[in-house]
Structure 1
Amino acid sequence: MRKSALDTYQFTWFDWFCLWYPPGWLILFNRHWQHYHADPDGWHWLEYVLCLIPCGFYLALLIRWLRLGCRFPRNQGYSFDPRYQQAFREEILKPIVKYYFRAELKQLENLPKTAPLLVAMNHAGMCFPWDFLVLGYLLAENRDWTVQPLAGVALFDHPWMMWWLPHGWSQTLGGVRAERNEFEAALAQKTVLLYAPEGLRGPAKGWFKRYQLETFDLSFVQLSDRYNIPILPVVCLGNEYLHLWAINLKNLAKKIYLPFLPLSPLIPLFALFPSMGVWAMRSRLRYFIQPVYKTELKAEFNSSRKMRSRAYQEAQSLRDKMQTLINQLLQ
């Protein structure tokens, strides 16, 4: 981060407008980034203004592409910066979490006082991962922890993400690639890792299967056992309403290299304003913290078929417990 701690980001009338105008969220994220980082490949003022008008994003994208010499934005080689994560959390996320998503943690008596932890949560919404970002904010606020989400490698380098957000934005904010070396590096810093046991199946399942948990991957049980990290199960209510009435066009999504492609009554708006890709419907996000869960495997046998079977059984057992709790809370 090139700015000093005293040179914080000051909201202007334009920033407040972007905060309450859905196509402006993307602009707000990029303006905040450019305040703290020199980014010659980033968006310019004319392009920002164009993003605010119907179909103007396409013209802004063309202008930016020509300005960069008909190439993609360069990767500046950024890595996780806790200072920038804190600045983004306090200056951008805070009003969104408190006043837009009205988020709150429940059952705080189950929240441990020490890290590291592997937080397993039902991930949903078929949109920008707001349920993860909001949970990260709340955990850091309550325990002053370093919180980092674990995500698939493709989500960091997707061509569409390079144009929406600064190249390296996810890594700088703490995103951890689902690779062994990055996972171990994060653990060495006593961090709290956010993990979606359903993988992309969770957010991609669609509106008609809302609050129905998909099969849990066994990897988080194996990771917990191998590195001796306790699992903190968390159930989120409200994240299914971040993108209402959406179904997933799986075949088309594969053809255009997207993890999922939602179809809903909101899609015409997204077609007119692609910058709304980081926006979500207003929802009340409630997180119910469960008692810490410890695996019962033996790490030295994780590679055997029997141990994989036991890990799978433990993962599905935890899934069943979380599904039962969701059903009770919904009633």
Structure 2
Amino acid sequence: MNCYNFTWFDWFCLWYPPGWLILFNRHWQHYHADPDGWNWLEYILFLIPCGFYLALFIRWLRLGCRFPRIQSYTFDPYYQQAFRDEILSPIVKFYFRAELKQLENLPKKAPLLVAMNHAGMCFPWDFLVLGYLLSETRNWTVQPLAGVALFDHPWMRWWLPSGWAQVLGGVRAKRDDFEAALAQETVLLYAPEGLRGPMKGWSKKHQLETFDSSFIQLSDRYNIPILPVVCLGNEYLHPWAIHFKALAKKLYLPFLPISPLIPLFALFPSMGVWAMRSRLCYFIQPVYKTELKADGNMRMRSRAYQEAQSLREKMQTLINQLLQ
């Protein structure tokens, strides 16, 4: 199949926030047959205030008053590269203006477990952009660890094509899936803060939350080095946001940001994959190797927790220094 080339309409969608969802779906439909996907009339409705609700209703009627079908897909490195080169490239270069710093610390070979601070309270753009930069720099296959809601939540089935996250290499944030990905000797992007990172909100945007210790134990078990990366700029992807816990729980969402931008999101729900323009800078740190030498499961977990928090303190110190 021919490559997907940006048209004037795609450039318009890139700089018009409600159009980002159109970009993702148009690209998918170029490479995949998707009879349940959005059509042109519905795309046009995305671009007008409250038009997304009408588009959603029309699509629901068109599908016979049902949800889009769940499709079974697996990771497709070819499509990941196509998406990276044809969609992510202009977003990374012209919108987020992203760059890797301290490249002398970047290893030559995989596998790696890349541990990065996660913020922004929005679609995980800091992860997607880092994956793009690592792939471009080293030609690596990079897979991000993603919250289960990104795969299974009903809203995702309407916003994005069924199987979209899996095909692009997303790994469910479950221990079995995590271990299976590490065993494939891939470069796995991991947020040690978990959902606590994006949930912490604007007031704690530069503060790292407690690190989970599972990545330390798995790094030790599979003898895979950890590459710490500090990102600055991701805290501005959705500025001035706070986490509305009560409503998020009722809607079964991992987090629900409330900010001055919310009226725009209410008018244009397709902006759910959009983020504010920012300059994302990634500072690569020296490779970290675990040294778990305790006996017994309890002592091993205690040692892993201590190492995880030690790494958090080092990354927090670097963030404070860079902010100064």
TM-score w.r.t. length of structure 2 = 0.98
Q: Is 2:287 aligned against 1:319?
A: no
Task: Supply the AA of the counterpart residue of 2:11.
Answer: W
Counterpart of 1:56 in structure 2: which amino acid? G
Per-residue displacement from partner, 1:297-319 (whole Å, max 9, x unpaired)?
149x5x61111111111000000
Could you tell me how far 1:198 is from its partner in structure 2? 0.3
Q: Which one of the candidate residues 26, 36, 39 is aligned to 1:41?
A: 36
Matched, 1:163 2:161: no
Deviations for 1:21-78, whole angstroms, at most 9, x for unmatched residues? 1100000100000000000000011100001000000000011111111111112211
Q: How far apart, CA to CA, are the structure 1 residues paired with 2:6 and 2:126? A: 25
Q: Distance in 2 between matches of 1:37 and 1:298?
A: 49
Hey, what does 2:298 align to over in structure 1?
305
For structure 1, list consecutive stretches of 5 or more residues without a partner in the other structure. Answer: none
2:204 maps to 1:209: yes
SS at match of 2:85: helix
Residues 242-261 of structure 1 correspond to what in structure 2 (within 5 A)? 242-261=237-256
Show the 5 A alignment for 1:1-331. 4=1, 7-298=2-293, 301=295, 304-331=297-324
For the 8 Å contact 2:183–2:222, the answer to whether it is kept is no
Deviations 1:240-296 (A, max 9, x none): 000010011011111110111111110000000000011000000000000000111
Which piece of structure 1 moves more, 175-184 or 41-50? 175-184
Query: For residue 116 of structure 1, what is the amino acid of its counterpart?
Result: P
**Letter of the 2:66 counterpart:** R
Q: In percent, how many aligned pairs have the same letter?
A: 86
- Stretches of structure 2 that go unaligned for 5 or more consecutive residues are none
| Letter of the structure 2 residue corresponding to residue 14 of structure 1 | F
The whole-number CA distance in structure 2 between the counterparts of 1:144 and 1:224 is 22
Amino acid at match of 1:24: G
The count of corresponding residues between Structure 1 and Structure 2 is 324
| Cα distance between partner residues in 2 of 1:322 and 1:185 | 27
- Secondary structure of 1:114's counterpart equals coil
Query: Quick check: 1:225–1:298 contact (8 Å CA) kept in 2?
Result: no
* Aligned-residue offset at 1:12: 2.0
Q: CA deviation at 1:214?
A: 0.4
For the residues of structure 2 that align with 1:127 and 1:72, how far apart are their CA atoms? 24
Amino acid at match of 1:256: L
Residue 125 of structure 2 aligns with an amino acid whose one-letter code is W
What is the CA–CA distance in structure 2 between the aligned matches of 1:241 and 1:88, rounded to whole Å? 24
Residue-by-residue CA offset, 1:73-120 (whole Å, 9 max, x unaligned): 112211100000000000000011011100000000000011110000
For residues 144 and 135 of structure 2, the distance between their equivalents in structure 1, rounded to whole angstroms, comes to: 12
Within 1, Cα distance between the matches of 2:198 and 2:255?
8
Does the residue aligned with 2:188 lie in a helix, a strand or coil? strand
Q: Report SS of the residue matched to 1:140.
A: helix
Amino acid across the alignment from 1:288: F
